[in-house]
Chains A and B, each alone.
Chain A
Amino acid sequence: MTRIDKLAVGEQLPVFERRGTIEHWNRFAAVNDEFAAHHWDYAVAEAEEFPAPFAMAPLQLAFFHAMLRAWIGDDGRIVSVSAKLRGPFFKDQLLTASGKVIALDHVEDEMVVDLELAQIDETGRSIAIGSARVALKSSVENDV
C-alpha cells in the first residue's frame, strides 16, 4: 500500500506479473463464461493467423486493476482504467504490468493520482498501454 506523504510524480508502482497458462485462463474462462477457442486451441489460433493461443482482454484489464488495488490498499478507490490493446498476450509468455504516477491533485478529502500504464511480455513486446486514475483518502496524519 502506498503512502500519500511519499507520493511523487514519476513514482513507479510495483509490477504485477503473470505467466500465460491454460490453468489460469481456464479459471478466468469459467468465471467470465468466455470460451472462444483461440484462447486455448493452437489450431484455431493459427487459423486466425496467431502463433499461439492468447489471453482474454478482460483478464488483461483485470491485471491492471489488481496492480492498482495492491498499490492503493483497502482505503483507496479506482476511478478509471483504460487499456489500448497493442498485441496479444500469448500462452507461456510472462506478462508484466507496470504503472507510473504522472499527476497528483488534491481534491476535497482525496489525493487523485493519474497514472500511465503498460503491459509487456518477456521479449519486451508491448501488449497494452493505458491510463488510470485512482483516489487515495487523505487523513490528518498523512496529509500532504
Chain B
Amino acid sequence: MAESSETEGSLTESLVTDDMRNIVGVVMRESTSHPVAISDIRKWAIAVYYPELPPRQFWDEDYAATTQFGCIVAPEEFNPFAWSTAKPSLTDPKVAQTAFSEDELGVQPPEYKAILLTEIREQHGRVRIRPGDVIRSAVRISEYFERDGQMGRMLYTTLSNEWHNQSGDWVRTTESVFVRY
C-alpha cells in the first residue's frame, strides 16, 4: 500500500509501496564474470583513451611488471561483465548491469513514462582487477527517495552493485541513481 509523504512542501501520495520498501537491501541479481583476460583489459583501455595511446600500465606487460602491481591491472572503471558471463550463462535471460526493475523480485514497479540515470558513484577498493580474476557482482536497491519537480512526482532509486574477486576481496561498489517520472 502506498502512503502519503510530504516533499518540498506538498502532500502527495508516495510512489513507494510497502512491497517496494521491503526489497530495499535484498539482492535482486547476482552475476559471475568469466576470468578476466589481458586482452579484455587492453581493449577496454584502448577504447577509453581513443584516439590516444592508453597508459602502458594497461597494455605493456614488461612495463607493468615494474609498477606497484607487478603486472597489468584493469582501469578502475573496467567492466568484466560485458557480452558474456559465467553466471548467468548465455542461454539464460540476459540481465543488464545498470538497468533494473522491481519485478525481478516479484514486486510491481510503479508506473512511469521515463527513466533516466542521474548520478553514478563509484568506490574502489585497494585490490585491483588482474588478468585471471573472476568477479562476482551483487545488485541491490539500496534506497528510494522522492521529489516533486516540473514533471510531477519523481521517484529516485539507488541501485548498488558490489563487486568482489575470487578471493572475496572487495573490488568496487557502484551506486547508480535512477529517476522515474
Which residues in A have some Cβ–Cβ distance to B below 8 Å?
23-24, 27-28, 30-34, 57-59, 61-63, 65-66, 69-70, 74-75, 77-85
Given contact pairs A61-B77, A69-B55, A69-B75, A27 touches B50 in the complex (Cβ within 8 A): yes
Closest residue to A77 on the B side, CB-wise?
Answer: B126
- Whether A83 pairs with B120 at a CB distance below 8 angstroms is yes
Which residues of the partner chain A approach B124 to less than 8 Å between Cβ atoms? 77-81
Main SS at interface, chain A: helix
Q: Closest 3 A-B residue pairs measured CB to CB? A: A27-B47, A33-B82, A82-B121
Nearest chain A CB to B30 CB, angstrom units: 18
**Does the CB pair A83–B79 fall under 8 Å?**
no
Task: Find chain A residues with CB under 8 A from B117 CB.
Answer: 57, 85
User: In the complex, how many residue pairs between chain A and chain B have their CB atoms under 8 Å apart?
Assistant: 83
* From A58, A77, A80, contact of B121 by CB (8 A): A80
Q: How far is the CA of A85 from the CA of B77 in the complex (A)?
A: 17
B47 and A30 contact, CB distance less than 8 A:
yes
Let me know if B67 and A85 touch, CB within 8 A: no
**Nearest chain B CB to A48 CB, angstrom units:** 9
Chain A residues within 8 Å of B122, by CB: 61, 80-82
A-B contact pairs, 25 of them (CB 8 A): A27-B46, A28-B47, A28-B48, A28-B50, A30-B43, A31-B79, A31-B82, A32-B47, A34-B82, A57-B120, A58-B79, A62-B48, A62-B77, A65-B76, A66-B48, A69-B55, A69-B75, A74-B55, A77-B124, A78-B124, A79-B124, A80-B123, A81-B121, A85-B118, A85-B119
B79-133 interface (Cβ within 8 A of A) = 79, 82-83, 98, 117-124, 126
Contact of B149 with A by CB under 8 A: no
> Which A residues touch B44, using CB under 8 A?
31
Q: Whose C-beta in chain B lies nearest to the C-beta of A48? A: B114
Partner of B77, one of A24, A33, A65: A65
- Cβ B68 vs Cβ A84 within 8 A: no
Which residues on A sit within 8 Å (CB–CB) of B120? 57-58, 61, 82-83, 85
Note all chain B residues with C-beta closer than 8 A to A83. Answer: 119-121
A85 to B118, CA, bound (A): 5
Complex interface: chain A residues within 8 A of B121 (CB): 80-83
Residues of B within 8 A of A57 (CB): 117, 120
Chain A residue nearest to B64 in the complex (CB): A74
A87 CB to closest chain B CB (Å) equals: 11
Please give the distance in Å from B96's CB to the nearest CB on chain A: 10
B160 interface residue per 8 A CB criterion: no
Interface centre among B47, B67, B82, B118 (most CB of A within 10 A): B47
